[in-house]
Amino acid sequence: MQAAQTTEKPLTFIKSKADSPQGADTQVDASGTWTLAQIEALFALPFNELMFKAQQTHQANFPEGDVELATLISIKTGGCPEDCGYCPQAARYDTDVKADKLMNLDDVLEAAKAAKAAGSNRFCMGAAWREPKDRDIEKVTAMIKGVKALGLETCATLGMLEASQAQALQEAGLDFYNHNLDTSEDFYRSVISTRGYQDRLDTISNVRAVGMSVCCGGIVGMGESRQQRAAFLTRLANLSPYPESVPINHLVPVAGTPLADQAPLDPLEFVRTIAVARITMPRARVRLSAGRQELGRSVQAMCFLAGANSIFYGEQLLTTANPEAEQDRELLAELGLKTKQSSKSEVLI
Ligand code: SAM
Ligand code: DTB
Ligand code: SF4
């Protein structure tokens, strides 16, 4: 069965209230389209009111209150031709990342078995490509089949995808494709020049068209304004349908990248961003992604209260560090948060 094509609802500005977000209402209209003014108004709510609203939305949509664990692996590291200003894997920046070729199937499956044994629900394979070649797709489809056979949900993030490539990944059993909008359209231009915002929307649309679930989010703390954060969430929430998974990364400033010296975002603003994502995309898994190590336990606890219900789990993201799995298990236990049980029955190990 083919899923509906991802279409984008227009970004609507409420002219009379746009200059005064506090005065704008914070309820989505009957069509489910969010305006920028409504999302800015959510950001501007008193903190407790925002958290209460987010927690109400969360409990209504996820009464089980569990946290999904997703493990990341970099199947092809570094040497990327793109110029994403945050990324240590871009060949043009002088970072400590050593470029490596595509991993072999057995090593990927070993890593997936370890992730499964540690309690992970989803295995996400990332490659530092602008876009995969067709021969890369063949190799990745073998990985997808192998990982699925272990009873894990599969996700891949390989850069831009053509429709036929999306089809091949779907036929191999890929559950989710991750491709981020990253930020608002206007701020995007100051971070990335080698591919446009529309290219990203086209890839997301190709993924939707073959019936795969979409994992799409972005990065905050790159120097964008609150209005730009609100515009970014407006674009995500107005994707039709909105993504099933929404990774919210906090910038990890890496030496050698253009954003190396970026001052950190106020942690409370990060928590607000999570809360607004929860309210505007009520059924999505909102994932605390890169930058968790820097956030610390208390801010992460507030993020869970704000409606985050997924984390990247395992001591390594793609090239940067993540909290130790043991530390995460302790934090979740201390907060009384259950982890999501695998939805698959065909557990083979
Ligand atoms: N090359 C593919 C692409 O760009 O779509 C897939 C991998 S890419 C590393 C996936 C995502 O990681 C980016 O879209 C970005 O949101 C996130 N990311 C990369 N570097 C980051 C950093 N330093 N801090 C936070 N997030 C980062
Ligand atoms: C996403 O939004 N965040 C993940 C995943 N999708 C692929 C990647 C985070 C990368 C952080 C920097 C690094 O480790 O290289
Ligand atoms: Fe390449 Fe992806 Fe990094 Fe951009 S984010 S430089 S496309 S690996």
**Ligand 2 atom with the shortest distance to the CA of 89:** 15
List the residue whose alpha carbon is closest to atom 11 of ligand 2. Answer: 290
Report the pLDDT value the prediction gives residue 153, as an integer from 0 to 100: 97
Catalytic residue among 122, 200, 208, 215: 215
**Is ligand 3 within 6 A of the CB of residue 80?**
yes
SS3 of the chain: the string is CCCCCCEECCCECCHHHHCCHHHCCCCCCCCCCCEHHHHHHHHCCCHHHHHHHHHHHHHHHCCCCCEEEEEEEEEECCCECCCCCCCCCECCCCCCCCCCCCCCHHHHHHHHHHHHHCCCCEEEEEECCCCCCHHHHHHHHHHHHHHHHCCCEEEEECCCCCHHHHHHHHHCCCCEEECCCECCHHHHCCCCCCCCHHHHHHHHHHHHHCCCEEECCEEECCCCCHHHHHHHHHHHHCEECCCCEEEEEECCCCCCCCCCCCCCCCHHHHHHHHHHHHHHCCCCEEEECCCHHHHHHHHHHHHHHCCCCEEECCCECCCCECCCHHHHHHHHHHHCCCECCCCCCCCCC
Domain ranges of the chain: 64-339
Report the pLDDT value the prediction gives residue 342, as an integer from 0 to 100: 63
> In this structure, which ligand is nearest to the CA of 158?
1
Catalytic residue among 80, 235, 292, 303: 80
Any catalytic annotation for residue 216? no
Report the pLDDT value the prediction gives residue 36, as an integer from 0 to 100: 98
Ligand 2 pocket test, pick from 74, 157, 204, 254 with the greatest ligand atom count within 8 Å of Cβ, gives: 157
**Is ligand 2 within 6 A of the CB of residue 247?**
yes
> In this structure, which ligand is nearest to the CA of 259?
1
**Ligand 2 atom with the shortest distance to the CA of 124:** 7
Question: How many percent of the chain have pLDDT more than 70?
Answer: 91
Mean pLDDT in each 10-residue stretch from start to end of the chain (349 residues)?
45 35 64 93 98 98 97 98 98 96 97 95 98 96 97 98 98 98 98 98 98 98 98 98 98 98 97 98 98 95 98 96 95 96 45
Report the pLDDT value the prediction gives residue 19, as an integer from 0 to 100: 34
pTM of the full predicted structure?
Answer: 0.92
Q: Which CATH architecture has domain 64-339?
A: Alpha-Beta Barrel (3.20)
Report the pLDDT value the prediction gives residue 11, as an integer from 0 to 100: 42
